[in-house]
Structure 1
C-alpha cells in the first residue's frame, strides 16, 4: 500500500487540522487516525518535530494548558491554508479513496471467510459417506465466485490509486491532458476486450 501522505502533505494537513481548532499533540494524532480510518496513527516522533518546524516558520504557536501543550494556527498559517485549499482538497480525496479501498478489501476478506466457514460447516454436518454439497470449494461455481471477489478488489484498488494520483496531480496545479485520459480509456477497452476473449 502506498504511503498515506506524500512528501509535504502531512505538514499541510497538520495546518488544515489546526485551522479547524487549536489542538494538543495527542488530539492531532487521534484526528489523523480517525480521518484515515485507523490506517495511519503517527507517532509523537513524527508529529512533534513537524509542529516545531511549523512554529519556526511562524505558522503555528504553542501555549501551555495545564500539563498539555496546545498548538494554534497563526494568521500566516491561515493564509497558507487558504492559498493551498486545492492541495488540501486533493489530500482529503486521496485519504477518502484510501479508506474506501481498505474497506473494500476488508469486506471481500470477510465475505471470503464467511464462504469458507459455510463450506466447513456444511462439510462437518455431512454424515460419513454423504457426497459433498455444491457449496464446497471443489465446486467450480464457488471457485468462480472467489475469483469474482478478487476481481472486485483488483478493480477497486486500480480505480482508487489512479483516481487519487490524478486528483492530487490536478490539485497541485498539474495539467491533465485529454490525450492522457484517451490513452487510459483505450487501455481499459483493450483490457476489457482481452477479458472477453479469455472467457470465450
Structure 2
C-alpha cells in the first residue's frame, strides 16, 4: 500500500484533480528536460569555456563546475523519468465505483483511512453496518470523533454521514469527494 498525503483529499479523484495531476506531470517533463540539458551544458561546455577564457587559470574550478553540472543534469533525469512514469499510469476520476460491503470499501485507498479509525456499532441501515469515527478524527474528510457512517445499501457507491447525534451531515463518494446532489437530497434526515 502506498502512503501518500494529498492536498484537499475531498478533491482527490475528481476530474479537476486529475487534470491538475496531468498538467503538473507535463510541467515536470519540461523542467526535467531543461535541467538535464542545462546541467550538461554547465558541466561540459561551461568548464571548457571557463578554462579557455581564463588562460588556464580556472583549472582548479573545473572539477567543481563539472560536479555541480552533473548533479543538476542527474536531478533533471530523475524528475523527467518520474513524470514520464506518472503519465503512463493514467488519471482516474470515476466516482461511479461501487463496492459490495464495507470490508471491500476498507480495501480501497480512500477506505484504508477509515478501517483503522472507525469501529462497527450495533446499528444497521438498509442491511449495512453503521460505523463510528473513533478518537482520531478524519479531518481531511470533514469527519469528527463520534460521526457515524454507513455504505448506502441500494447503490453501494457512496457513504452516508451523520454526526454523533444522528443528524445528517453529507454524502461522500467512494473516492472521498462530496456528492453535492445526494447531500442536498439528504438534508433533514436523522439516524436513529
Normalised TM-score (structure 2): 0.34
Normalised TM-score (structure 1): 0.33
